[in-house]
Chain A
């Protein structure tokens, strides 16, 4: 088998894995947009905030310690304990639910019936506030995140492919794990949205706020629930990306990777986020592999958007987005 083809297969598989990681970020956007029509600019910062909170809880860090020490003249930084990863994840989820409640209570409840652009601007404000708040709460140093996820080359795949192709494929164990988590997450979200009472209420709100209100669905509850779910998805994305690079403020920029995925998969489809992520991941990696050297390299960022734009021209609502028909 030609060497280039074998290498291309390895790139293809790694593209799929990268796509899953992009899709994890995109999922959070989809959930909020689907239920409230808000494009949540703060989704990347939510992933950062969730990961910072998780590490802070695991390490027993005192929140706002710099502020406390500056005001009270104390020297406290740590509680002196370490919290197991599973327990810390549960505590972090509680914090994200609290954040969801606060966001709804103090921001979006007051913006009901406002233009989408106003809601979008509010999420920009939220993003910057949350970034500063996270910095003040947990500090801006780079934090190691180790919740016990496997990392490094998967030796079984390496050996297996070596026997077949005389070349061992590189697949990162963390990416494999992320794929399994993402699959489980999408399955759970789809089942939740289709078959649970709250999920059906969420879909009703997404279809028509007024009609949902008229049958007794609480908009406040649904929005808090959806922001909590988005917070959970942000936590999962934060764990995966934070394990790779350490938890640091650049983590909020992973949102940039989700935008072409959303353009391609559609803003309202959970499976669309996954399929979009896979297409973007594979597309950008194969393009870099095939034409990167010829074009001077570093093509992935812009090619992802080109790919999304091509799809957009032929299907503006994205692959799985709902077609908007307005009758006059």
Chain B
């Protein structure tokens, strides 16, 4: 009897194939704490895509994916603990989903030889692959975002914004301060006045900032917020009757969570994005069939198609494509972290590839190289349609202002290289 039970247990463990798989992906998620409402959909999307590949395709290149979830609570110390406790499992790549955690992991991951993918967050100058060998931030970074917002404003004003005023309402943290340097550079180039309005964490009280906006009447407001700061800012903008079509949030201020508390009056609010919106893609039919209906969804299945679910799913898709590239490059399906890095550095996303994956026009086309770990800096603008209850893409993908950004990336990354004695690569 004991033997039967033991045999059954072994069979059950063997049947749970992913636990014994060779491709380990760590999901450093945050399903608890003040930012859980944003962490949950991202993590659900990230995990569901890998589950789809396991269920539908038998993994990637014949290797099953072993998903390891570790809860960070969006806390930097816990994020580092997650990294330390899981890196021994031959993790291929980390997606920390926090700028604070990213900054702590850059030296650790570099020393350990494990790539980081910080998609749309983290250290912007990590775009320079000559300095940051193990860090990637494609397809877009914070400075790209700042430029996208200004380019959109320039286009709305027929190319001249020299008489305009733009206010930046930002989270008073390293994350929130990221776009300031870029906006100052763009202000010099285009001649607009820039007003800086910091909001202290967590951002529950912003009356002073919005009274100032009401008094000074800036033509546009750009927001760099996260969590409750976003909801309060949009509510305050509604309260002072600020024109919502002139209010543009970065991609971390542009989910359904951010606009819904303000109700119908948030209609017209704009947000940047580097991927498409909604669930009208063939891949979602597969997720429904192979993941949700088989009871393998990471969450309750109620987040599918939301902005942050899409972002998590997109991050997983990019990781999966990098794995495929690495497998082809090295002629082996069971790749390691160093080979994964090579895959990421040689990743090319084309429209053909995305369409074949069931995600036509889901993200911009881009190519990663040894020198360029950040892609081509393409993004788009979305707008909240309150009646339909969804964001809609209102522009094509367009490129950030590389004339302004490239020297800034070069300057910042070189300073980092000098401080840390890093020898330039890609010669």
A residues touching B (Cβ–Cβ < 8 Å)?
Answer: 7, 10-11, 14, 18, 66, 69, 77, 132, 135, 140-142, 144, 146, 151-153, 170, 172, 241, 244-246, 248-254, 257, 285, 288-289, 292, 296-298, 300-301
Contact = CB atoms under 8 A, between A and B. Distances in A.
A250 B228 contact: yes
A146 B240 CA distance: 19
A319 to B, nearest CB: 22
Contacts of A301: 200
Interface in B296-353: 300
B208 to A, nearest CB: 4
29 contacts: A11-B211, A14-B211, A18-B205, A132-B32, A135-B32, A135-B36, A140-B31, A142-B257, A142-B260, A142-B261, A144-B261, A152-B241, A153-B239, A153-B241, A241-B204, A245-B228, A245-B231, A246-B228, A246-B231, A246-B257, A248-B37, A248-B227, A248-B231, A249-B34, A249-B37, A257-B205, A285-B207, A297-B196, A298-B198
Nearest to A21: B205
Interface string B169-211: 0001000000000000000000000001111101011011101
Nearest to B36: A140
B239 A142 contact: no
Given A140-B37, A246-B261, A285-B207, A253 B200 contact: no
B425 interface: no
B235 interface: yes
A251 to B, nearest CB: 8
Main secondary structure of the interface of B (DSSP, over half): helix
Given A11-B208, A141-B37, A289-B208, 17 more contacts: A10-B211, A14-B207, A69-B300, A141-B257, A146-B263, A153-B240, A170-B211, A245-B204, A246-B261, A248-B228, A249-B34, A249-B37, A250-B34, A253-B204, A297-B197, A298-B172, A300-B200
A288 B172 CA distance: 15
Contacts of A253: 34, 202, 204
A146 B264 CA distance: 13
Interface in B342-392: none
B30 to A, nearest CB: 10
Nearest to A22: B205
B282 interface: no
A250 B202 contact: yes
Those 3 A-B pairs whose CB atoms lie nearest each other, nearest first: A246-B261, A250-B228, A140-B36
B3 interface: no
Nearest to A144: B261
Contacts of B238: 152
Contact of A298 (B199, B228, B241): B199
A140 B40 contact: yes
Contacts of A246: 228, 231, 257, 260-261
B108 interface: no
Interface string B197-236: 1111010110111010011000000000001100110010
Given A253-B202, A297-B197, A297-B198, A245 B207 contact: no
Nearest to B32: A135
Q: Which of B31, B228, B241, B257 has the most CB of A within 10 A?
A: B228
Contact of B204 (A14, A77, A254): A254
B58 interface: no
Given A285-B208, A296-B198, A245 B261 contact: yes
Q: Which of B36, B202, B205 has the most CB of A within 10 A?
A: B205
A77 B215 CA distance: 45
B214 A170 contact: yes
B180 to A, nearest CB: 11
Contacts of A251: 204, 228
Interface string B15-48: 0000000000000000111101100100000000
A258 B146 CA distance: 36
A272 to B, nearest CB: 21
B35 to A, nearest CB: 8
A77 B207 CA distance: 36
A69 to B, nearest CB: 8
Q: Which of B232, B239, B261 has the most CB of A within 10 A?
A: B261
A298 B196 CA distance: 10
Contacts of B207: 14, 18, 285
Given A153-B239, A298-B200, A66 B205 contact: no
Given A135-B36, A140-B40, A142-B261, A245 B200 contact: no
B44 to A, nearest CB: 12
Contacts of B265: 152
A141 B40 contact: yes
A257 B265 CA distance: 28
Contact of B37 (A7, A18, A77, A142): A142
Interface string B66-78: 0000000000000
Contacts of A146: 263
Contacts of B198: 296-298
Contacts of A10: 211
Contacts of B200: 298, 300-301
A318 to B, nearest CB: 22
A146 B73 CA distance: 28
Contacts of B202: 250, 253
A69 B300 CA distance: 9
B34 A144 contact: no
A171 B235 CA distance: 14
Contacts of B204: 241, 244-245, 250-251, 253-254, 257
Given A142-B261, A301-B200, A244 B232 contact: yes
Nearest to B30: A140
A254 B257 CA distance: 20
A254 B232 CA distance: 13
B288 to A, nearest CB: 14
A140 B32 contact: yes
Contacts of A285: 207-208
Contacts of B300: 66, 69, 77
B327 to A, nearest CB: 35
Contacts of B34: 248-250, 252-253
A244 B233 CA distance: 10
A152 B242 CA distance: 12
Interface string B270-281: 000000000000
A245 B261 CA distance: 6
B75 to A, nearest CB: 13
A300 B212 CA distance: 14
A288 B300 CA distance: 44
B32 to A, nearest CB: 6
